[in-house]
Every structure is written in C-alpha cells, then in structure tokens.
A = this chain, B = another copy of it.
Amino acid sequence: MGDTVKYLLSEERTPKAWYNLVADLPVPPPPPLHPGTLQPLGPSDLAPLFPMEIILQEVSTERWIDIPEPVREIYRLWRPSPLIRARRLEKALDTPAKIFFKYEGVSPAGSHKPNTSVAQAFYNQQAGVKRLTTETGAGQWGSSLAFAGSLFGLEVEIYMVKISYQQKPYRRALMETYGATCIPSPSPLTNSGRAILAATPESSGSLGIAISEAVEMAAQRDDTKYALGSVLNHVLLHQTIIGEEAMLQLADAGAAPDVVIGCAGGGSNFAGIAFPFLREKLAGRCSARVIAVEPTACPTMTKGRYAYDFGDTAHLTPLVKMHTLGSTFMPPGFHAGGLRYHGMAPLVSHVIEQGLVEPRAYAQTECFSAAVQLARAEGIVAAPESSHAVRAAIDEALRCKASGKSETILFNLSGHGHFDMQAYTDFFAGSLKDVAFDRAALDKALAELPKVPA
C-alpha cells in the first residue's frame, strides 16, 4: 500500500486563467440569434441581462482569460479540488484500469457550481449591480449563487422549480442561510409565472419556466441582472478550472487519460472537465475518448435534435443552436434534477456534432447502483447528477477488465449527494423506478421548434 491516492497542487501551480475552447475550434459554433429578428445577436442585445465583462466573455475568441484576483482568492477556500485515484474501486471491480476522479463536492455549496457563481457575482458587483436573479432546479446552482452573492454583498433572488422547492427543503434552507430569497416557480410575481398558473394552476414547474421568471425580473430593473448556472459560453469557460487543474494533477500522477467522462445537464461541469482535454486532442497531444453522460429520461444529446431553440419556456431568451428536446418538452420527474433540462450547451452540442465527444444515456437506477459502489469503496456519496458519470466510469473500467486493457479513466464527480439522500432512501427501498421516455411528447415538442431560415 502507501501509494498516493490524492493529488493537490501548490498555490503557485494553480491555474491563473480560464480556457476558452472557441479559440481552438476548427469550425466556429453557430451564433445565437435575436428572438425577434432572428439575426445574429450583438453584445448590446444582452446588456439588459448581463454586465459587459460577462457579455465580452460570452462572445470572446481569446484562448485564455485571466481569473481576477478577488475570484482566485475565494477559489482558494476549496480549490484546487482534489484529484483522487480510486484504488479501492479499481480493486472492487478487479479491473486493470486506473480510475481517477476530480472531486468538486469540496466547495462550500457542495458542487462545481461556485466556480462560475463566484466569477459572475464578482463581475456584477464590479459593474455596480445590486441584485441578481436566477433559477434553480435541484438547488445546486441556487445555493452556489446564494453563497457567492453573500461574499460580494449582492441580493440574490432565486426562482426554484416548485416540485424541488417542496421536495428539497434543506436546499432552500441552505440558500436562506446564505441570505438569499427563494421563490417557488411558477410564481404569481411575473407575467411568465402568472401565464403558466392561469393555464395549469397545479404546475410543478420546470427549469424552462423558472428561467423565464428570473429573466423577466432582471430585465425590469436597472440595478438587477440575471445569472445563469450552465449552458452559456461564459459559464462553461469558468468551469474549465476543473480540467486545467486535473491535467496538472494527472501529470503529477504520471498518467494521461484514455477516457474523460462528465455528466451533462446544461453541460457546464462536463465542459469544465472536458474542454481542456479537447484542446490537447485538437492539437494532437491527447487521444482520449471524451464521453458526455445524460439520463435516458431527458436524453437531449442522444435523442434530441440539433436545432435553434429557446432556452426557456416563455421564449424570452435568445435562440441558440443546440441539441434540444424542444422548449415545450416537460421532462418527467426523476432524482437528478440538475439534468432535467430540455437543451444542451451550444458549445457542447457543437463539439458533439464535430465528432469530438461521444454522448451516452443511462437510466437512474443503474446510476444509483454505481454511486453506492463508489460510496462503499471510496467513501464519497455522489449527487444524483454525478452518479451518471460514475456509472460510465465503472462501465469503462469493466470494458477494460473484459479486454485486459490498463487504460486511464478520468471522471468528474461534480458534487456530493448529502442534500439528495431521499433518492438513496428510495433506491434502497426499491421505490426508485426508471422513467420511460415519452417519444410522443418528444415528437410533439420538436414539431413546435421555432422556424429559423437556414
């Protein structure tokens, strides 16, 4: 024994810049379109929602963007996050594969989300913004923005998908502990919310509806901006700190990945671990397969269409080209709330289209089964979202076992499941069921996609 299991990085070696994949893409991603004119969006179109520094990052083609010192100072509370060699899991699986995971659950909010919430809060504070609105599903993003807002003295107002608001009171308590206000969505406070409530008073909400509400509130007040926890380029950019650290830590372990895995709901933690390795892959310095994992119940990448669509239900957002199930598609209830979104980050969709990334889908019970195996071997209880990456990593390790190959597998464990233990209780009780995918609902939603001239 006595082998190293955890890799950190010294302060001096911690990455000082975020990586922008757009700079290295052989084919540029399609531009976002104005929802009214259907013309490519200009920076000023986004100004009601975001401060200029964030808009510039959203459209940037620079390869590296410096992480401001006040952001790095807060990152230091938990970053660099550990890279862990899962030796006990390897042994339990009896695989020749080497399994490494990057553990983002060490952040104060328990997930990777503060990597961007801290950056967004900083840029908003610098721009004189007093108040941020946002949406949250399972609550990882909401609690992360609440955390960041408290550090930068910003008011934070969070529209939480109603079913999660009711089912996850502890997440709500965490947001309130950080001083944020949490509102069940759909709410009577916005036009978007009132319209939904008028049509379906019993609506349990969706991320698409909550986004509409948060965007509407932000657009109304000069001192208020909107913050998004995934999907957009600048959010993915901020998450690349994960992959940049992992690359240095893997090098310290004397390893290079053959497989890189992340779960993908909006796509930000996946992009965070994957994009730095895609850069190396594009430059011919890395030959890793890169796998994005989603739930079979909300199979955006594996069953959706690559098309222009709205990010929200009320169609207040720009149109972006992405893998989508249609903005009117209502994902069924399942435990990985963070993966319950109709679309996928445009940049992630683009690299899938370019053949750089393999999408894969799993049902939830096989993911929880993998997460329990990880917990009993390595002690860490994964969030339901992250359990999808665990499942894929275990399957890749079992493939290595079958073929006798000693590959190196890297996956991102994006957050801990301490706020999601009800899902584990249900899993052990046998009451956790896999949700059948509704093909008819998909066809209906896809038929309602906006018509955009080629």
Contacts and interface: CB of A to CB of B under 8 A. Distances in A.
B376 A179 contact: yes
Given A73-B2, A428-B173, A106 B109 contact: no
B8 A173 contact: no
A375 interface: yes
B8 A422 contact: no
Contact of A425 (B69, B84, B88, B169): B169
Nearest to A380: B108
A416 B177 CA distance: 13
A379 interface: yes
Interface of A: 1-6, 8, 11, 69-70, 73-74, 76-78, 84, 88, 106-110, 114, 147, 150-151, 169-174, 176-179, 372, 375-381, 416, 418-419, 421-422, 424-425, 428
A107 B147 CA distance: 21
- Most chain B beta-carbon neighbours within 10 Å: one of A110, A375, A421: A421
Contacts of A380: 108
Contacts of A106: 106
Nearest to A74: B379
Nearest to A372: B177
A6 B421 contact: no
A150 B421 contact: no
Contact of A76 (B5, B88, B418, B421): B5
Contacts of A170: 170, 418, 421-422, 425
Given A108-B378, A178-B376, 20 more contacts: A1-B70, A2-B69, A4-B11, A4-B76, A6-B78, A74-B379, A77-B379, A88-B151, A108-B381, A150-B376, A150-B379, A174-B424, A177-B372, A177-B375, A177-B421, A177-B428, A178-B379, A179-B376, A416-B418, A419-B421
Nearest to A11: B4
B424 A173 contact: yes
A5 B77 contact: yes
Nearest to A179: B376
A440 B88 CA distance: 53
Contacts of A5: 73, 76-77
Contacts of A179: 376
Main secondary structure of the interface of A (DSSP, over half): helix
Please provide the 9 A-B residue pairs with the shortest distance between their CB atoms, ordered closest to farther: A108-B379, A170-B421, A173-B421, A418-B418, A150-B376, A173-B425, A173-B424, A177-B375, A177-B424
Contacts of A84: 77
A91 to B, nearest CB: 11
A375 B150 contact: yes
28 contacts: A2-B69, A4-B11, A4-B76, A5-B76, A6-B77, A6-B78, A8-B8, A77-B84, A77-B378, A147-B379, A150-B379, A151-B377, A151-B379, A170-B170, A173-B422, A173-B424, A174-B418, A174-B424, A176-B428, A177-B372, A177-B375, A177-B421, A177-B424, A177-B428, A179-B376, A416-B418, A418-B418, A418-B419
A103 B325 CA distance: 43
Contacts of A176: 424-425, 428
A146 to B, nearest CB: 10
B177 A110 contact: no
Contacts of A109: 379
A169 B421 contact: yes
Contacts of A69: 1-2
A377 to B, nearest CB: 8
A193 to B, nearest CB: 24
Contact of A375 (B1, B178, B419): B178
A109 B381 CA distance: 9
Contacts of A173: 421-422, 424-425, 428
Nearest to A72: B2
A29 B16 CA distance: 53
